[in-house]
């Protein structure tokens, strides 16, 4: 990838297609949905049991009942009115108001079709989003999605339940942007305008964009924001393979690069580091978390480490 994205060209779509652009039959789609459901549920059940629940707190504590005071109970919660009535100390019990709303902001721009090792960025984003969706519904939380490119492609309001999660997975597998670019700022503003209640928001993108820092700070004050930056090894480092013809997936711009030149490879890598540092700075100023996942890395370990850290 190189340069910034301009002169966005529309991409026509007549029917659901796979990530490589091939049409997807109903049978194939159902099979893919089922496979992703099984994989996501396995990860959620065996690896995230407790971690997800502990990492994200509910709205607060609500009164549940009164019971007799026992040694060790917090004296601050003694119900003096009930205690006086029965001439015996009683204490109030509270429970966490658990229900949360999880919003997934999914970058569908064409730069995510890139991938040289492991899987493509789009496939990685799809798997991570599916795992997060099933983690949410397993914990009886609502989950919704905003698909975006340089415009809002689709909005799925947050709901609970397995059927809703499966619908999200189907959309993840078949979504195809109508335009090729990326506008993170527009997506963040749309999220802020449509999501009034505090939520856990995951922003999944390769973050090949700038100028979204102010709106990120706005949602960072109201929501629990976690960015997940996905990238490919070749996004960061060119191989020494001689003359390479590179294409910017979001503009179609072609560029001939001599990858055997050490300075060319160095400048390419520095450009990636600069983009990454900008992203890190934006999230730090917004008080938000940012995770980095490479296409050939185990994203499960990255998520699990993050959940455990937030306990």
pLDDT bin (cut points 50, 70, 90) of residue 5 is very low
pLDDT averaged over the chain?
A: 84
- Give the range with max mean pLDDT: 91-105, 112-126, 160-174: 160-174
CA distance 220 to 113: 28
How is residue 116 written in tokens?
């040289």
pLDDT at residue 92 is higher than 50: yes
Range 104-121 average pLDDT: 89
Nearest alpha carbon to residue 21 among 11, 31, 30 = 11
SS3 content of the chain, % helix, strand, coil (to 5): 40, 25, 35
Q: What is the pLDDT of residue 63?
A: 58
Whether residue 158 contacts residue 142, with contact meaning beta carbons closer than 8 Å, is answered with yes
In angstroms, the Cα distances linking 60 to 95, 201, 278, 307 are 8, 18, 34, 19
Phi, psi of 275 (to 5 degrees): -60, -45
CA distance 217 to 286: 4
pLDDT at residue 21 is higher than 80: no
DSSP β-ladder status, 142-148 and 152-159: antiparallel
User: What are 117-160's pLDDT values in tens digits?
Assistant: 888 999 999 999 999 999 888 888 999 999 999 999 999 999 99
pLDDT bin (cut points 50, 70, 90) of residue 28 is confident
Q: What is the pLDDT of residue 270?
A: 95
- Give the range with max mean pLDDT: 6-10, 14-18, 54-58: 54-58
Q: What is the pLDDT of residue 285?
A: 97
Range 301-308 average pLDDT: 88
What is the domain partition of the chain in residue ranges? 26-54+99-309, 61-97
Q: What is the pLDDT of residue 64?
A: 64
Q: What is the pLDDT of residue 165?
A: 93
User: What are 33-86's pLDDT values in tens digits?
Assistant: 888 888 888 887 766 666 666 667 555 555 567 888 888 787 788 888 888 888
Range 162-175 average pLDDT: 93
pLDDT bin (cut points 50, 70, 90) of residue 12 is very low
pLDDT bin (cut points 50, 70, 90) of residue 253 is confident
Q: What is the pLDDT of residue 54?
A: 66
Q: What is the pTM of this model?
A: 0.77
Query: Which of the following CATH numbers is that of domain 26-54+99-309: 3.40.50.300, 3.40.50.980, 3.40.50.410, 1.20.58.1880?
Result: 3.40.50.410
CA distance 172 to 82: 54
Whether residue 109 contacts residue 120, with contact meaning beta carbons closer than 8 Å, is answered with no
Range 230-252 average pLDDT: 86
User: What are 260-284's pLDDT values in tens digits?
Assistant: 999 999 999 999 999 999 999 999 9
């Amino acid at each position: 990838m190189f340069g910034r994205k301009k002169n966005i060209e529309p991409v026509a779509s007549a029917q659901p297609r796979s990530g490589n652009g091939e049409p997807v039959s109903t049978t194939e789609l159902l099979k893919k949905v089922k496979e992703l459901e099984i994989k996501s549920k396995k990860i959620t059940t065996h690896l995230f049991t407790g971690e997800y629940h502990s990492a994200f707190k509910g709205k607060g504590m609500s009164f549940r009942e009164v019971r007799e005071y026992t040694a060790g109970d917090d004296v601050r919660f003694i119900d003096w009115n009930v205690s006086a009535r029965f001439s015996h100390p009683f204490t109030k019990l509270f429970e966490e108001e658990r229900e949360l709303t999880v919003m997934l902001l999914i970058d569908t721009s064409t730069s995510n079709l890139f991938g040289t090792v492991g899987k493509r960025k789009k496939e990685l984003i799809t798997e991570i989003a599916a795992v997060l969706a099933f983690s949410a519904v397993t914990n009886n939380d609502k989950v919704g999605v905003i698909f975006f490119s340089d415009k809002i492609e689709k909005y799925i309001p947050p709901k609970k339940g397995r059927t809703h999660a499966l619908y999200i997975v189907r959309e993840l597998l078949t979504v195809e942007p109508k335009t090729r670019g990326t506008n993170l700022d527009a997506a963040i503003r749309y999220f802020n305008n449509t999501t009034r209640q505090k939520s856990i928001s995951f922003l999944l993108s390769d973050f090949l964009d700038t100028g979204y820092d102010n709106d990120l700070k706005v949602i960072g004050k109201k929501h629990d924001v976690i960015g997940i930056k996905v990238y490919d090894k070749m996004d960061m480092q060119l191989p020494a393979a001689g003359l390479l013809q590179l294409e910017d997936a979001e503009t179609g711009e072609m560029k001939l690069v001599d990858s055997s030149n050490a300075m060319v490879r160095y400048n390419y890598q520095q450009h990636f580091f600069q983009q990454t540092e900008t992203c890190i700075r934006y999230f730090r100023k917004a008080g938000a978390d940012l995770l980095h996942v490479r296409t050939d890395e185990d994203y499960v370990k990255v998520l699990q480490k993050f959940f455990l850290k937030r306990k």
